[in-house]
Amino acid sequence: MGIRSFKEGIRFKYLEDIAVQTRIPSSWRMWFKQRKRWGVGTALFLKEYSRDLVRIVRKYPRVPLSILFIFPSLPLLLIDLLIPDELPMKIVYISLLLLSTWTSLLLPAAAFTSTTMFLLKNLFLTVCNIGVYSSIFYVIARKLGYVFNPLEFAFFYLVYSPLWLLIMITSIARVFINPEWINVDWKI
């Protein structure tokens, strides 16, 4: 519907006074099944409408930014995948080892670096990312008149969104690698 709307020039608008009734999944198993179905649907959508999607993204480059609001843990995943850890960590470790030859006070830092620098880097990136996203979501919630709950957001950021992202990635991989694995009984 979204692709057809863009192709036909139809635009959407945010309405505050509309109510939509929907059934929420009654258990985590049903939630997982629903997200898996959505993941397969997204993969089939990407496969079927990839050319149209590329044209839309070229015309409206801000459209893909909405993915960052659905999956706020995505930037961390991309940083971990695209930025190599080994060289910077080795430079820090070797520098500390060389500096510790002048003063033994740096030996604990060198030992600390060799074992936990990777964990600290990821913790630092996670705290920074959750801080930025919390601020953005807080501002948006205030503008829309919603209450921002930091605990709910932390659950969304640390559990819900990464799990949903993992389901989406595996669904997309399954559809593109071997579509025979997918049993689509709901597509007309």
The residue extents of the domains of the chain are 2-14+26-181
Between CA 151 and CA 157 the distance in angstroms is 10
Distance between first and last Cα of the chain: 14
Cα→Cα distances 88→84, 113, 118, 129, Å: 8, 11, 10, 21
pLDDT tens-digit map of 124-159: 888 888 999 999 999 999 998 899 999 999 998 888
- Predicted confidence at residue 152, as pLDDT, reads 93
Q: Are 70 and 168 in contact (CB under 8 A)?
A: no
Asked if residue 103 has pLDDT above 70, the reply is no
pLDDT tens-digit map of 54-71: 888 888 788 777 777 788
Asked if residue 162 has pLDDT above 90, the reply is no
What is the chain's Cα-based Rg? 22
- Predicted confidence at residue 149, as pLDDT, reads 94
Per-residue pLDDT, averaged over 11-16, amounts to 77
pTM beyond 0.85: no
pLDDT tens-digit map of 31-90: 888 888 888 888 888 888 888 888 888 887 887 777 777 888 888 777 777 776 666 667
